[in-house]
Structures are given as structure tokens and as C-alpha cells.
Chain A
Amino acid sequence: MSGIAPIFRKEMEDHFTSVRFVLITALILMVGIIITSMVGMGLRSELEGYSKPPFVFLLLFTATGRFFSFAQFIGFFGPLMGIILGFDSINRERIGRTLTKLLSQPIYRDSVINAKFLSGIGIIGIILLGMILLICGLSFILVGVVPGGSEIMRLFLYFVITLVYVSFWLSVSILFSIIFRSTATSALASLALWIFFSFFLGIGGSFIADALAPLKEGSTVDPAVLLRHERIQRIVSFFSPISVYTDTTSILLDPLRKTTKGIVLMGPLERLSISRFQGPLPVLDSLLIVLPHVVSLVALTLVCFAICYFVFMRQEIRSA
């Protein structure tokens, strides 16, 4: 592909020297270290005198110390990272009138958008990988545990899925930077979408669930209605990449969790089987549970990027 390499190189240089890169890295680094230290020290004092249970290492990512866990933090902050890296990628060039210059060079038009997308993913990957490795290092020091093979596998899957998740937000913000001429508008549009998915979709879900399957207060709850209520809420939440991502990573990082569902109705037989089989799941089985989630997350990202691509290729580039 003609032209990807030089644009990719320049975009990476731009990212690395930009203030915003320093800011988001510093923020993630700071919050990550604080959370991990708190969780790590808590674990150490709790484990004093006991032999270490299996998978204590992954607790560093999932245990919610005093505020929230690292995984929750990334679930919440990851979108912001993608948005910050992408919201002005195309319209900045348009405002600076460099887009015409760029496109009058012998490069394919799609190289521009591919290179911008790839460089964003590269930066996100570097920050995330650095952070995960840092937490691993802290775990040696604070808790004295070393990750085993399956834990490393789980962390790797977590890394890949987080990369896809943040890339989704990157492509959303790139799409807005193609559609809107002003960088402020594209930033606000991306943020609005993020806030909608983070807060309002959850509220909307419980609202719809209350309307369709109302739970009467005070009286004993009919399990069937409760289940229906829960199911409606879940269906609504599936429209939000944030809850899809949170479900996925909570399963992947916790071998003891066997379902993403919040409520499971159990008969005597299920109760027996649950108490018999308390053991952790193999990595592959955890992955199988969330496979639909993973597929839909990847599909969302690809669809969003495809729309970017399509809109950008058909757009008039006239500077006027």
C-alpha cells in the first residue's frame, strides 16, 4: 500500500511529541499505580500467614480496592483514550489545509485513514502493554506472586480485547473527525456518545425493563418476572460496547466466574452441580463463554471503521 509507511511514521512522531499523549499516559500510569498498590497491599495483609490461593495474581486487575479495579478503570477511561487520540485526526488536516497537499502526493487516499487508524492503535497498544507489564512488576514487589501460564494467557486475551475496545472508540472519533469540520464539534460528539453509552443506556435499560416487566415492591417477586426484567435489561445493555466489554473482561480475568448473567435461577440439581464443581475454568472455556461478546466487539469496531473508510473515500476534498 503506497504511502502508509511515511504517514504512519509521521503520525507516531506526532503522537509521541504531543502534550495529550503525555497527559493520558501520566493519568493512566498514576491511577494504575495507585489502584494496584492499594489492592496489592491489601492482598498482602490479608494473605499473611496463609498459603497463596490460585489466581491471586489476577486479583490485582479485578479487585476493587477502595474505589474501583484497574479493569473497571480501563473500561471507563479507555473510550476517552481512543477519543483523545482520534477526534481531530482528519479535520485538523482539513483546517490546516494539509489534506489537499497530502492527497496531491502519489499516495492512495485510503492510506491516509489506514495510517491514522493504525498509528492510533499502535499508541494505545504501547500504553496498555506498558501498564499491564508495570502491574505485573508491582505484583512481584507487593504480593510476591508470579503469574502462571494460564494467567499470562488470560492477561494476553484481556490486552487484545481492550485494544479492540479502545480501537472502537478511536474509530468512532475518527469518523466524527471526518464528518465534522470543526475539531470541537467532533470532540463533543464523541464525548456525547461515550456519556450516552456509559450512563444513559443503563438507566434507559432499567426504565424499559420496569415498563415491560414491572417488579411489584413489597410482595414476593415472581421468579419468572424477575428473570424477564433481568433479560430485558441485558438485551438493552448489549447495545452498549461498554457493557459488552465489561462483561467480557470480567469473565476473562476471573476463572471462577462461569456466566455473565447477573441472576441465575437454580433448581436443586444446578445447586448441587455448582457446589460440586467450584474449580476454576480453563482459559479456553472462559473465552467460549464470552465468544459472542468478543465477536460483537470486533464486528462493531470493523463496522465503524468501514463507515469511516466509506465516508472518507467519497468525500469531496475541496479546501474551500
Chain B
Amino acid sequence: MEEYLIEARGLSKTYGNLKAVDDLTISIRKGEIFGFLGPNGAGKTTTILMFLGLTEPTQGMVRVCGFDPVKNPLNVKRRTGYLPEHLGFYEDMTARQNLLYVARLNGISEEEATSRIERALEEVGLEEVADRRVSTFSKGMRQRLGIAEVLIKEPELVLLDEPTIGLDPESTIHMLEMVRSLSRDRGMTVFLSSHLLDQVQRISDRVGIMIKGRLVAEGPIEELAKRKLGVEREDYTLEEIYLKFFREA
């Protein structure tokens, strides 16, 4: 029996006439890195917000970490780390204070919080600027602080919304390394939304392609390549597959 951390069935969200997410059925296995692809406005963020119980689905059901996010949001949020696309920090607080606040909100004891914050800062490489105000941070540092915020929760599931957008190449590589280590070294399940295809290809075990609110394809990249591009080809890129789906949709 495989264990699923996210199970969605017929999940839909409509804003007025707009179907942001249309009949999404998806299962995410424990421990995998799932790349969630799609152009801007395809409904990726809405999907993630529904997983967290921050937006109520219009239709369908979803279970995250075994709980229903609509009825039991606290249990889901306790086990889930979320890195939003647009990160927000309290600008006039230091990095450490920001992390401490998150730790307190999670009900982590002060003692435990201090050691977790120390470890997380070290892991993302921010220990030297930990006592500087966040307002002085660059985009890359903010992103790393966001990851640290996820780490101190020690979640089972990590939802990353466009984690590499707007980063320089070096920070991007660093970011992807961190994401990979979340899964490989810590056994966390990673659900990653992005429209930067080569990056997703580099780290994902499986991908899903979302276009105009509908999930048009889902599976390991090789499998999708076989289905879409023909069996013989070996030098496929995710971009080719994606564009093919995109033109058909």
C-alpha cells in the first residue's frame, strides 16, 4: 500500500464565471518531489491555497496529511510548510525575530525554537546576517529565510509556490539544492509549482501539467515523453513535452 500525503478528487474552484481549478484529481506519494507546471494564471496557487485550507473549494474533496483542510485546517497547517510566491516578512524585525515569531505561532517551546532556528539558519546559510533587519535583505536572502521558516516547523509536506522566480542563477542552483535535500535528506514530501521547466525537470520525480485550470497530464517525465514524443527519443526536454500539451489545450 502506497501512502499518499495529498489526495484530491474532483477539486474545483470557481470565482464568478472563471473556473480557476477545474475537476482536479491528483495523488502525491510520501517522500516524492512533485513538480506542478503551468503558465501564469493556470490555477497553481489556487490549488495550493485549497490544500492549505486557505481557500475553500467550490466542489470536490481533498485530504492533506490525512486531514480535510476545510474541516480541520489546523492539523493540516501543523504538518505543512508553505512558501508563498510573494514572501512576506516583518521588515523591521531581524531574521531571527521573524523565525522566532513563526516558531511561537507553531507552539514550539522557546528552548526548542532557539535550537531549531540556529540549525535552520545554518542550513540556509544566513547565520551571519541573522540579527540584521529583513528590510536589508536581498531577494535571494529572503527566499532562503522563507525556506528556514519552513524548516523550523519540521513539516511532513512542503508546498513551494514558484520558489525560484526572480532569483539569480547562483541562488537558483542553491535553492534547488535545498529543495532536493528536503526530500532526500529529511524525507519530506515536496509539492513544487513553477513555470521554469528545466529547473523542475532537474529535481522532480513526477510532474503534473496544469493549463487553464485543468490537469492535462501527470506522471514521471520519461513516461510523459514516451507518450507525447514517441518511444525512440532519448534527448527529450520537459519543455518540448510541455509545449506540445500547451498547443493541444
Contacts and interface: CB of A to CB of B under 8 A. Distances in A.
Contact of A9 (B77, B88, B104): B104
Contacts of B104: 5-6, 9-10
Interface string A45-73: 00000000000000000000000000000
A319 B86 contact: yes
A26 interface: no
A112 to B, nearest CB: 10
B88 A96 contact: yes
Interface residues of B, number: 26
Nearest to A111: B105
B176 to A, nearest CB: 22
Given A3-B105, A6-B104, A10-B101, A100 B54 contact: yes
Interface string B36-55: 00000000010001001011
A151 B13 CA distance: 61
Nearest to A94: B88
Nearest to A99: B88
A73 to B, nearest CB: 32
Interface string B71-88: 000110110101011111
Given A99-B88, A100-B88, A101-B84, A106 B55 contact: no
Given A101-B87, A106-B78, 18 more contacts: A2-B107, A6-B101, A97-B86, A100-B54, A100-B88, A101-B88, A101-B102, A104-B52, A104-B54, A104-B77, A104-B84, A106-B105, A106-B106, A106-B107, A107-B105, A317-B49, A317-B55, A318-B55
Interface of B: 45, 49, 52, 54-55, 74-75, 77-78, 80, 82, 84-91, 101-102, 104-107, 149
Interface of A: 2-3, 5-7, 9-10, 93, 96-108, 316-320
